[in-house]
Amino acid sequence: MSENSFAASPGQTIGPFFHYALPYEGGGQLVPPAAPGSVFLHGTVFDGAGEPVPDALVEIRQADPHGHVPRREGSLHRDGHFTGWGRAATNASGRYLFTTLTPGPVHGGAAFFGITLFARGLLDRLFTRAYLPGESDAFTRSLTDAERSTLQIEADAEGGLRFDIHLQGPGETVFLTFPRHAA
């Protein structure tokens, strides 16, 4: 078949009415809050005016603490297993929250959470990475200090991991494109 036969389907906004369809019970709890080693990964999604975005959806993909990426079924019904994937809608204050495990580095790379962001008003999904404090790699070293700081998780006073996402404006998060994403 011609190359064009497999041209990518365009994305579209998630729109305003996804809340009854996509979020699911326990979607943000990759592990129960009381599980050994559990940590909160949380933050706020901001728009270009610095206002929180109350209708965004955040998904994470991560390794376990040993740097192993789970390939186990059960991402919607985890049944007590760690699957390394989670989904959380932002609340009325633009905040999202995951209860999870701290990821280890995969194959000697830097330790980060892969993140996908969707929102009403956002015409296509965005990818980014949330690096654990102190982690860097060739990609982050290619960025300016200001850019790099947008991908760094902050350890908060309660031992949680805080990662705010800025769609635009001062501190606009660095968003990623991967090979073959380009038109």
List binders of other proteins among 43-62 (CB under 8 A): 47-49, 51, 53, 55, 59, 61-62
Q: Which residue number, 59 or 164, has a Cβ lying nearer to other proteins?
A: 59
Q: How far is the CB of 44 from other proteins (least distance, A)?
A: 14
Run of H or E including 146: helix 145-149
Cα gap 57→120, rounded to integer Å? 9
Interaction of residue 70 with other proteins, rule CB under 8 A: yes
Q: How far is the CB of 105 from other proteins (least distance, A)?
A: 8
Contacts from 175-182 at CB under 8 Å and sequence distance 24+?
175/126, 175/127, 175/128, 176/127, 176/128, 176/129, 177/127, 178/127, 181/8
Interaction of residue 8 with other proteins, rule CB under 8 A: yes
What are the Cα distances from residue 21, in Å, to 15, 36, 68?
12, 31, 30
What mask of x and - would describe binding to other proteins in positions 87 to 126, judged by CB under 8 A?
A: ----------------x-xxx-x--xxx-x-xxxxxxxxx
Ranges within 122-151 binding other proteins (CB under 8 A): 122-127, 129, 139, 143
Cα gap 49→137, rounded to integer Å? 31
Q: How far is the CB of 7 from other proteins (least distance, A)?
A: 6
Interaction of residue 13 with other proteins, rule CB under 8 A: yes
Eight-state DSSP code of residue 154: E
Binding window for other proteins (CB under 8 A); candidates: 36-44, 73-81, 156-164: 73-81
Interaction of residue 14 with other proteins, rule CB under 8 A: yes
Q: Which two tokens stand for residue 162?
A: 């805080």
